[in-house]
Protein backbone atom coordinates (compact mmCIF):
# COMPACT_ATOMS: atom_id res chain seq x y z
CA UNK A 1 0.00 0.00 0.00
CA UNK A 2 1.25 3.49 -0.89
CA UNK A 3 -0.02 6.38 1.23
CA UNK A 4 0.61 10.10 0.66
CA UNK A 5 0.01 12.60 3.45
CA UNK A 6 -0.61 16.24 2.53
CA UNK A 7 -0.01 18.75 5.34
CA UNK A 8 0.21 22.56 5.52
CA UNK A 9 3.82 22.58 6.71
CA UNK A 10 6.59 20.62 8.40
CA UNK A 11 6.03 22.61 11.58
CA UNK A 12 5.11 20.62 14.66
CA UNK A 13 1.55 21.47 15.71
CA UNK A 14 -1.57 19.73 16.94
CA UNK A 15 -2.76 19.40 13.35
CA UNK A 16 0.46 18.10 11.78
CA UNK A 17 1.62 15.85 14.60
CA UNK A 18 -1.00 13.18 13.87
CA UNK A 19 -0.08 12.69 10.17
CA UNK A 20 3.61 12.79 11.09
CA UNK A 21 3.14 10.06 13.70
CA UNK A 22 0.95 8.05 11.33
CA UNK A 23 3.46 8.26 8.50
CA UNK A 24 6.35 7.28 10.74
CA UNK A 25 4.56 4.27 12.18
CA UNK A 26 3.13 3.02 8.88
CA UNK A 27 6.61 2.83 7.32
CA UNK A 28 7.01 -0.83 8.25
CA UNK A 29 3.84 -1.84 6.35
CA UNK A 30 3.46 0.81 3.63
CA UNK A 31 5.37 3.13 1.36
CA UNK A 32 4.60 6.61 2.70
CA UNK A 33 5.56 10.14 1.77
CA UNK A 34 4.67 13.54 3.20
CA UNK A 35 3.83 16.40 0.83
CA UNK A 36 3.83 19.88 2.33
CA UNK A 37 3.44 23.55 1.33
CA UNK A 38 5.58 25.38 3.87
CA UNK A 39 8.84 24.78 5.66
CA UNK A 40 9.02 25.10 9.44
CA UNK A 41 9.87 28.58 10.71
CA UNK A 42 13.01 27.25 12.34
CA UNK A 43 14.65 23.98 13.33
CA UNK A 44 13.11 24.32 16.79
CA UNK A 45 9.58 24.06 15.44
CA UNK A 46 10.22 21.25 12.96
CA UNK A 47 8.88 17.80 13.73
CA UNK A 48 11.69 15.27 13.34
CA UNK A 49 10.09 12.73 11.02
CA UNK A 50 12.06 9.95 9.32
CA UNK A 51 9.81 9.83 6.28
CA UNK A 52 10.43 11.05 2.70
CA UNK A 53 9.06 14.57 2.21
CA UNK A 54 8.41 16.82 -0.77
CA UNK A 55 7.44 20.47 -1.02
CA UNK A 56 4.55 21.25 -3.38
CA UNK A 57 2.72 24.34 -4.65
CA UNK A 58 -0.98 25.07 -4.31
CA UNK A 59 -1.18 26.25 -7.93
CA UNK A 60 0.56 23.27 -9.54
CA UNK A 61 -0.43 19.61 -9.34
CA UNK A 62 2.38 17.20 -8.49
CA UNK A 63 2.10 14.15 -10.76
CA UNK A 64 3.87 11.97 -8.20
CA UNK A 65 0.65 11.93 -6.17
CA UNK A 66 -0.85 9.63 -8.79
CA UNK A 67 1.53 6.90 -7.69
CA UNK A 68 -0.30 6.52 -4.35
CA UNK A 69 -3.27 4.34 -3.42
CA UNK A 70 -4.44 6.73 -0.70
CA UNK A 71 -4.16 10.51 -0.40
CA UNK A 72 -4.67 11.54 3.23
CA UNK A 73 -5.18 15.28 3.65
CA UNK A 74 -4.94 17.33 6.87
CA UNK A 75 -6.04 20.96 7.10
CA UNK A 76 -7.81 23.53 4.95
CA UNK A 77 -5.08 24.21 2.39
CA UNK A 78 -4.32 20.50 1.80
CA UNK A 79 -8.06 19.76 1.55
CA UNK A 80 -8.55 22.51 -1.04
CA UNK A 81 -5.52 21.32 -2.99
CA UNK A 82 -6.88 17.77 -3.07
CA UNK A 83 -10.33 18.97 -4.11
CA UNK A 84 -8.95 21.17 -6.90
CA UNK A 85 -7.10 18.16 -8.30
CA UNK A 86 -9.67 15.43 -7.71
CA UNK A 87 -10.09 14.75 -11.42
CA UNK A 88 -6.35 14.07 -11.67
CA UNK A 89 -5.89 12.01 -8.51
CA UNK A 90 -6.42 8.28 -9.06
CA UNK A 91 -6.10 7.15 -5.44
CA UNK A 92 -8.71 7.23 -2.69
CA UNK A 93 -9.04 10.57 -0.93
CA UNK A 94 -9.46 10.83 2.83
CA UNK A 95 -9.38 13.81 5.17
CA UNK A 96 -9.24 14.05 8.95
CA UNK A 97 -11.41 16.75 10.53
CA UNK A 98 -9.19 17.92 13.37
CA UNK A 99 -11.49 20.37 15.13
CA UNK A 100 -14.63 22.49 15.15
CA UNK A 101 -13.75 24.53 12.10
CA UNK A 102 -16.20 27.39 12.59
CA UNK A 103 -14.71 28.09 16.03
CA UNK A 104 -11.09 27.72 14.92
CA UNK A 105 -11.62 30.01 11.92
CA UNK A 106 -13.44 32.56 14.07
CA UNK A 107 -10.45 32.87 16.39
CA UNK A 108 -8.07 33.11 13.43
CA UNK A 109 -9.97 35.36 11.01
CA UNK A 110 -13.01 36.81 12.79
CA UNK A 111 -16.28 37.61 11.03
CA UNK A 112 -17.24 37.46 8.17
CA UNK A 113 -14.22 35.66 6.69
CA UNK A 114 -14.65 32.71 9.05
CA UNK A 115 -18.21 32.14 7.76
CA UNK A 116 -17.02 32.11 4.14
CA UNK A 117 -14.00 29.89 4.82
CA UNK A 118 -16.06 27.48 6.91
CA UNK A 119 -18.70 27.06 4.19
CA UNK A 120 -15.99 26.49 1.57
CA UNK A 121 -14.12 24.00 3.73
CA UNK A 122 -17.25 21.98 4.51
CA UNK A 123 -18.18 21.88 0.81
CA UNK A 124 -14.68 20.71 -0.12
CA UNK A 125 -14.74 18.00 2.59
CA UNK A 126 -18.03 16.62 1.29
CA UNK A 127 -16.26 15.60 -1.94
CA UNK A 128 -13.75 13.27 -0.27
CA UNK A 129 -14.17 9.49 -0.32
CA UNK A 130 -13.91 9.36 3.46
CA UNK A 131 -14.01 11.75 6.41
CA UNK A 132 -12.47 10.85 9.76
CA UNK A 133 -13.45 12.59 13.00
CA UNK A 134 -11.30 12.67 16.12
CA UNK A 135 -14.10 12.72 18.73
CA UNK A 136 -17.74 11.67 18.73
CA UNK A 137 -19.15 15.10 19.64
CA UNK A 138 -17.41 16.48 16.57
CA UNK A 139 -18.83 13.70 14.39
CA UNK A 140 -22.35 14.37 15.71
CA UNK A 141 -22.01 18.12 15.14
CA UNK A 142 -21.02 17.74 11.49
CA UNK A 143 -23.73 15.15 10.92
CA UNK A 144 -26.32 17.65 12.16
CA UNK A 145 -25.16 20.39 9.78
CA UNK A 146 -25.38 18.02 6.82
CA UNK A 147 -21.77 16.99 6.23
CA UNK A 148 -21.46 13.39 5.08
CA UNK A 149 -21.04 10.85 7.84
CA UNK A 150 -17.56 9.52 8.48
CA UNK A 151 -15.52 7.29 10.73
CA UNK A 152 -14.51 8.02 14.32
CA UNK A 153 -10.83 7.41 15.07
CA UNK A 154 -9.41 8.80 18.28
CA UNK A 155 -5.98 10.38 18.05
CA UNK A 156 -3.18 8.43 19.68
CA UNK A 157 0.00 9.59 21.35
CA UNK A 158 3.32 7.75 21.69
CA UNK A 159 4.76 6.75 25.02
CA UNK A 160 6.69 9.72 26.33
CA UNK A 161 10.25 9.18 27.43
CA UNK A 162 11.46 11.43 30.24
CA UNK A 163 15.15 10.95 30.94
CA UNK A 164 15.53 13.64 33.57
CA UNK A 165 13.43 16.20 35.39
CA UNK A 166 14.27 19.89 35.15
CA UNK A 167 13.50 21.72 38.35
CA UNK A 168 12.05 25.21 38.10
CA UNK A 169 9.74 24.60 41.02
CA UNK A 170 9.20 27.41 43.50
CA UNK A 171 9.06 26.23 47.09
CA UNK A 172 5.93 26.99 49.12
CA UNK A 173 4.06 27.78 45.88
CA UNK A 174 1.43 25.91 43.89
CA UNK A 175 3.24 25.29 40.62
CA UNK A 176 0.93 25.36 37.60
CA UNK A 177 1.99 24.38 34.09
CA UNK A 178 0.39 24.51 30.66
CA UNK A 179 1.49 23.52 27.17
CA UNK A 180 -0.01 24.77 23.90
CA UNK A 181 0.58 26.97 20.87
CA UNK A 182 -0.66 29.88 23.03
CA UNK A 183 -3.33 31.09 20.62
CA UNK A 184 -6.53 32.88 21.65
CA UNK A 185 -8.56 29.66 21.39
CA UNK A 186 -6.37 28.05 24.06
CA UNK A 187 -7.77 30.27 26.85
CA UNK A 188 -4.45 30.88 28.63
CA UNK A 189 -5.69 34.28 29.84
CA UNK A 190 -7.87 32.43 32.35
CA UNK A 191 -4.80 31.05 34.13
CA UNK A 192 -3.23 34.50 34.31
CA UNK A 193 -6.42 35.86 35.85
CA UNK A 194 -6.53 33.14 38.50
CA UNK A 195 -2.94 34.00 39.49
CA UNK A 196 -4.27 37.41 40.52
CA UNK A 197 -6.55 35.71 43.06
CA UNK A 198 -3.84 33.82 44.91
CA UNK A 199 -0.25 34.92 45.45
CA UNK A 200 0.77 31.29 46.04
CA UNK A 201 0.23 30.38 42.37
CA UNK A 202 3.21 30.17 40.04
CA UNK A 203 2.79 29.52 36.29
CA UNK A 204 5.06 27.96 33.66
CA UNK A 205 3.89 28.39 30.05
CA UNK A 206 5.52 26.24 27.39
CA UNK A 207 5.08 26.48 23.62
CA UNK A 208 3.86 29.12 21.24
CA UNK A 209 4.91 30.43 17.85
CA UNK A 210 2.40 33.30 17.72
CA UNK A 211 4.63 36.15 18.89
CA UNK A 212 1.81 38.71 18.90
CA UNK A 213 -0.39 36.60 21.16
CA UNK A 214 2.50 35.81 23.52
CA UNK A 215 3.15 39.55 23.82
CA UNK A 216 -0.56 40.07 24.58
CA UNK A 217 -0.33 37.49 27.37
CA UNK A 218 2.79 39.12 28.77
CA UNK A 219 1.02 42.50 28.73
CA UNK A 220 -1.97 40.99 30.55
CA UNK A 221 0.34 39.40 33.14
CA UNK A 222 1.97 42.78 33.74
CA UNK A 223 -1.41 44.51 33.96
CA UNK A 224 -2.62 41.96 36.53
CA UNK A 225 0.68 42.34 38.41
CA UNK A 226 1.43 38.61 38.14
CA UNK A 227 4.32 38.82 35.65
CA UNK A 228 6.90 37.96 38.30
CA UNK A 229 5.11 34.63 38.84
CA UNK A 230 4.94 33.66 35.14
CA UNK A 231 7.65 31.90 33.14
CA UNK A 232 7.18 32.09 29.34
CA UNK A 233 9.58 29.38 28.18
CA UNK A 234 8.59 29.18 24.50
CA UNK A 235 9.70 26.08 22.60
CA UNK A 236 11.31 23.35 24.73
CA UNK A 237 12.75 20.09 23.36
CA UNK A 238 11.09 17.88 25.97
CA UNK A 239 8.51 19.98 27.84
CA UNK A 240 7.41 17.08 30.03
CA UNK A 241 10.74 17.08 31.83
CA UNK A 242 9.64 20.45 33.20
CA UNK A 243 5.89 19.82 33.53
CA UNK A 244 6.46 16.67 35.61
CA UNK A 245 7.77 18.92 38.39
CA UNK A 246 4.56 20.98 38.53
CA UNK A 247 1.74 20.40 41.00
CA UNK A 248 -1.02 20.60 38.41
CA UNK A 249 -1.40 20.82 34.63
CA UNK A 250 -4.17 23.16 33.43
CA UNK A 251 -5.65 22.85 29.93
CA UNK A 252 -8.09 25.80 29.64
CA UNK A 253 -9.09 25.63 25.94
CA UNK A 254 -12.25 27.31 24.73
CA UNK A 255 -12.52 24.93 21.77
CA UNK A 256 -10.68 21.71 20.85
CA UNK A 257 -11.09 18.93 18.33
CA UNK A 258 -8.88 16.76 20.53
CA UNK A 259 -6.55 17.36 23.45
CA UNK A 260 -3.18 15.82 22.60
CA UNK A 261 -1.38 17.52 25.50
CA UNK A 262 -4.22 16.44 27.79
CA UNK A 263 -3.60 12.79 26.91
CA UNK A 264 0.16 13.21 27.26
CA UNK A 265 -0.22 14.71 30.73
CA UNK A 266 -2.60 11.91 31.76
CA UNK A 267 -0.21 9.23 30.48
CA UNK A 268 2.51 10.63 32.74
CA UNK A 269 0.30 10.69 35.83
CA UNK A 270 0.20 14.48 36.15
CA UNK A 271 -2.81 15.97 38.03
CA UNK A 272 -5.09 17.70 35.50
CA UNK A 273 -7.60 20.53 35.53
CA UNK A 274 -9.28 21.27 32.19
CA UNK A 275 -12.09 23.41 30.85
CA UNK A 276 -15.54 21.85 30.84
CA UNK A 277 -16.06 21.58 27.07
CA UNK A 278 -17.73 18.67 25.20
CA UNK A 279 -14.49 17.32 23.68
CA UNK A 280 -12.78 16.96 27.04
CA UNK A 281 -15.94 15.50 28.60
CA UNK A 282 -15.90 12.75 25.98
CA UNK A 283 -12.22 12.01 26.51
CA UNK A 284 -12.21 11.91 30.33
CA UNK A 285 -14.73 11.97 33.16
CA UNK A 286 -14.90 13.46 36.68
CA UNK A 287 -13.18 10.42 38.17
CA UNK A 288 -10.12 10.98 35.95
CA UNK A 289 -9.63 14.75 35.66
CA UNK A 290 -11.12 17.88 37.25
CA UNK A 291 -13.24 20.26 35.18
CA UNK A 292 -13.79 23.99 35.66
CA UNK A 293 -16.47 26.19 34.12
CA UNK A 294 -15.13 28.05 31.11
CA UNK A 295 -14.26 31.70 31.91
CA UNK A 296 -15.35 31.26 35.55
CA UNK A 297 -12.14 32.30 37.29
CA UNK A 298 -13.54 31.75 40.79
CA UNK A 299 -14.45 28.19 39.87
CA UNK A 300 -10.95 27.61 38.47
CA UNK A 301 -9.47 28.94 41.70
CA UNK A 302 -11.68 26.66 43.78
CA UNK A 303 -10.60 23.65 41.72
CA UNK A 304 -6.89 24.43 42.18
CA UNK A 305 -7.50 24.55 45.94
CA UNK A 306 -8.78 20.94 45.71
CA UNK A 307 -5.33 19.70 44.71
CA UNK A 308 -5.28 16.69 47.05
CA UNK A 309 -8.53 15.41 45.54
CA UNK A 310 -7.20 16.00 42.00
CA UNK A 311 -4.08 13.94 42.73
CA UNK A 312 -6.26 10.95 43.65
CA UNK A 313 -7.53 10.77 40.05
CA UNK A 314 -4.23 10.44 38.19
CA UNK A 315 -4.05 6.63 38.10
CA UNK A 316 -7.48 6.38 36.45
CA UNK A 317 -6.62 9.08 33.90
CA UNK A 318 -3.35 7.31 33.11
CA UNK A 319 -5.15 4.02 32.52
CA UNK A 320 -7.69 5.71 30.21
CA UNK A 321 -4.94 7.41 28.18
CA UNK A 322 -3.02 4.17 27.70
CA UNK A 323 -6.10 2.13 26.82
CA UNK A 324 -8.11 4.46 24.57
CA UNK A 325 -5.62 6.92 23.10
CA UNK A 326 -2.58 4.81 22.23
CA UNK A 327 -0.54 5.43 19.10
CA UNK A 328 -0.76 1.74 18.18
CA UNK A 329 -4.57 1.80 18.26
CA UNK A 330 -4.77 4.94 16.11
CA UNK A 331 -2.35 3.59 13.48
CA UNK A 332 -4.16 0.25 13.32
CA UNK A 333 -7.54 1.93 12.85
CA UNK A 334 -6.28 4.19 10.06
CA UNK A 335 -4.56 1.28 8.32
CA UNK A 336 -7.83 -0.68 8.37
CA UNK A 337 -9.66 2.38 7.01
CA UNK A 338 -7.19 2.68 4.13
CA UNK A 339 -7.66 -1.02 3.33
CA UNK A 340 -11.45 -0.69 3.32
CA UNK A 341 -11.27 2.23 0.90
CA UNK A 342 -8.94 0.41 -1.48
CA UNK A 343 -10.84 -2.90 -1.31
CA UNK A 344 -14.12 -1.10 -2.08
CA UNK A 345 -13.02 -0.73 -5.73
Give 172-202 pLDDT, tens digit per residue. 899 999 998 878 899 999 999 999 999 999 9
Question: Which alpha helices (DSSP H) does the chain contain, by range?
Answer: 14-26, 76-84, 101-109, 113-125, 136-144, 189-195, 211-223, 240-243, 260-267, 278-283, 297-304, 307-311, 314-324, 327-343
pLDDT digits (tens, 9 = 90+) for 228-243: 999 999 888 889 999 9
pTM of the model: 0.93
Domains in the chain with CATH codes: 2-156+326-344 (3.40.50.2000), 174-325 (3.40.50.2000)
Residue 302 has pLDDT above 80, yes or no: yes
Distance, first Cα to last Cα, the chain: 14
Contacts of residue 270, Cβ cutoff 8 Å, sequence gap at least 6: 243, 244, 246, 248, 249, 314
pLDDT digits (tens, 9 = 90+) for 282-291: 999 999 999 9
pLDDT digits (tens, 9 = 90+) for 70-79: 999 999 999 9
Amino acid sequence: MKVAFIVPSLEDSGLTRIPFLLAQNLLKDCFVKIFYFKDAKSRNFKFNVEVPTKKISLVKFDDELNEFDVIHSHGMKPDCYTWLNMARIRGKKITTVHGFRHEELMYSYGMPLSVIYNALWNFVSSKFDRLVFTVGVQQNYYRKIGLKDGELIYNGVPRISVNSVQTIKSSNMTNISTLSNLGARKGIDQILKVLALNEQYHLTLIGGSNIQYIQNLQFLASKLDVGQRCYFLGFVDNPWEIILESDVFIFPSRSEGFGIALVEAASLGIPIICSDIPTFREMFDDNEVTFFKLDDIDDLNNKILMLDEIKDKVSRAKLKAEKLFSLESMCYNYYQEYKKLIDAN
